[in-house]
Amino acid sequence: MKKNMFLIFGIIIMIIGVVVSYFGNFALADDIGLAGVMFGAGLVASQLWGKKDKAKPAWISVVSIVCISVGSFLLGFFRFDQNSMETIITTIFGLAAIIGGLVVGFLQTRKKE
């Protein structure tokens, strides 16, 4: 039932957007393009949510999905280069892995003492 309510809510919001877009003189092709891209983003976010670690708190998954989505949207809105965005994400992920590995290694050596 909850899933159906979100589905109906999504359809209503999209219809409102299309009607307002008509009065804003946006082209139908632009509306369809935006809807397709955002639908794809929703699918990716949904798949990411499905892959989350059940042992971790849900708020971690929510914060990461929202921050990545909103940040990427803003970067695209202000014409940031996609290759630069991917480089930044890869670098930050790598740094987080290195720092996490150092912290875990440090904590394990402290336990042995």
User: Is the pTM above the cut of 0.85?
Assistant: no
pLDDT tens-digit readout, 1-21? 777 898 899 899 999 999 999
Distance, CA of 41 to CA of 47 (rounded, Å):
10
Listed residue (46, 47, 20) closest to 34, CA to CA: 20
Residue 111 banded pLDDT, cuts 50, 70, 90: confident
Q: What angle do CA 86, 93, 37 make, to 5 degrees?
A: 40
pLDDT surpassing 70 at residue 113: no
